[in-house]
Chains A and B, each alone.
Chain A
Amino acid sequence: MKARYIFLLLLFASCKWNGQHPGRAFTDVSGKTLSPADYSRWFESDESTQQHLQQAGGKSYEVTFLPADLLALHEAGPGADENAIREAKTHYEDLVYFRLRIKDPDAGGEILKENISSPQDYQQRVTYCAFGMQRDISLLDEQNDTIPCALFNFERAYDVTPFVNFVCAFDRKEVGQCRFFTFVFNDRLFHNGFLKFSFTQEDLRNTPKLKP
């Protein structure tokens, strides 16, 4: 009898916790339709699987595809009716959206204030983020042709978060023609050079749809 317990104990010890909350696990959602509440929960729980990561110079760079349904949901707000969501979705249908997040796991405060010697340096970084960085972001298609960043937004975090977010959008027609493409960022903010994130058309398609 004891041996049976030992066996079960060994079996149990060999199991690994997958870190997912059972109530929040979404498996194989591609092509499925989810209610607005489930859609938001899916993105939050599955966000890490949507991310493409690079690390350089102690910074972590994450690029996440933002489906139009999600953006519409955010714009319409919680509890919005179908019409409001449908209306909001039309605002996001011409472009493909990505979020670039730069974070420093060891940073105490605002990442843009790291290793600066004067307030002018900080101002220079902010100005670059707001007006210059868009030129350093592009998509490369399979023929290595460049798709420029059509819309860019820098979300200022001040001292609230140890990361900084940029929303970048590209022409949907051009992106739709590629089987795979690479998101390229030439980092002149922290001087870490080119950072690349490879996506396939499947990555964009394998997201659930919002229940109409």
Chain B
Amino acid sequence: MWNKSVTVIVSLALGLCGTGMGLYSKMSGPKYGYVKIKDVFDRFDMKKEMETKYQKDNGWKQRELDSMAFVLQGEGNRLKSMGEVPDSLARDFSLRQNDFLARRKQLEDEKQSQTSEYNQQIINRMNQYINEYGQHNGYDFILGDDGNGNVMFASPARDITEPIIRYINDRYSGKQ
């Protein structure tokens, strides 16, 4: 008889507990947080590494172009000081100047396309990891505060920028 009563009480307690937890999760509403996008982007290790790679890839091309510009400037000053410049020298100088301008344009185009490709890769990965963080931690919403008025007010208690930065850097390094 006593055993039966204990079983009934335990079963009822478990049932009540389950119902209580269900009701609590319904009543507490959606879980949300916000991140300061600029901070996350700037402190994302992938961004720092891609920046280094970009500088390494383009550094020598830029230096080559700078040397060309230096030589051309010297050549231009020399021609100016000559007063009357022979046609052949002027033509040669003009050809080299055009070559320099074409190369500079090409490098600028390459840099621009590389910048937008790298930025896209960084943003995609950042979004991917933030998405994973939200799923793993049971978030319904993670808002992005970019300082442009998308988020006009949010309690600092909902600011998850720091844990997100830690998470995305750990994920990027392959540790998680």
A interface with B by C-beta (< 8 Å): 1, 3-4, 6-7, 10, 52, 54-57, 182-183, 191-198
Can you list 11 pairs linking A and B with CB atoms under 8 Å apart? A3-B4, A6-B11, A52-B174, A55-B132, A56-B124, A183-B174, A191-B117, A193-B118, A193-B125, A195-B174, A196-B172
**Residues of chain B in range 86-137 having any CB-CB distance to chain A below 8 Å:** 117-118, 121-122, 124-125, 128, 132
Contact assessment for A191 and B174 in the assembled complex, using a CB-CB cutoff below 8 Å: no
Give the residues in chain A near B125, CB-CB below 8 Å. 56, 192-193
Contact assessment for B15 and A198 in the assembled complex, using a CB-CB cutoff below 8 Å: no
Chain B residue with the shortest CB-CB distance to A187:
B121
CA of A102 to CA of B49, assembled, Å:
23
Contact assessment for B174 and A198 in the assembled complex, using a CB-CB cutoff below 8 Å: yes
Give the residues in chain A near B173, CB-CB below 8 Å. 182, 196, 198
Residue in B10, B14, B117, B128 whose CB lies within 8 Å of A55:
B128
Contact assessment for A193 and B46 in the assembled complex, using a CB-CB cutoff below 8 Å: yes
Interface residues on B, range: 20 to 34
Give the residues in chain A near B14, CB-CB below 8 Å. 7, 10
Interface of A is mostly: strand
Give the residues in chain B near A182, CB-CB below 8 Å. 173-174
Let me know if B142 is at the binding interface, CB within 8 A.
Answer: no
* A137 vs chain B, min Cβ distance (A): 14
B interface with A by C-beta (< 8 Å): 4, 7-8, 10-11, 14-15, 18, 46, 49-50, 117-118, 121-122, 124-125, 128, 132, 171-175
Contact assessment for B11 and A194 in the assembled complex, using a CB-CB cutoff below 8 Å: no
Contact assessment for B128 and A56 in the assembled complex, using a CB-CB cutoff below 8 Å: yes
Q: Known: A3-B11, A4-B7, A194-B49. Is A54-B174 also a contact (CB below 8 A)? A: yes
Give the residues in chain B near A4, CB-CB below 8 Å. 7, 11
* B50 vs chain A, min Cβ distance (A): 7
Give the residues in chain A near B46, CB-CB below 8 Å. 193-194
* B9 vs chain A, min Cβ distance (A): 9
CA of A3 to CA of B121, assembled, Å:
58
Chain B residue with the shortest CB-CB distance to A195:
B174
Give the residues in chain B near A6, CB-CB below 8 Å. 11, 15
CA of A120 to CA of B88, assembled, Å:
44
Contact assessment for B124 and A57 in the assembled complex, using a CB-CB cutoff below 8 Å: yes
Give the residues in chain B near A191, CB-CB below 8 Å. 117, 121
* B169 vs chain A, min Cβ distance (A): 11
CA of A182 to CA of B10, assembled, Å:
51
CA of A162 to CA of B102, assembled, Å:
43
Contact assessment for B50 and A7 in the assembled complex, using a CB-CB cutoff below 8 Å: no
CA of A144 to CA of B10, assembled, Å:
57
* A76 vs chain B, min Cβ distance (A): 33
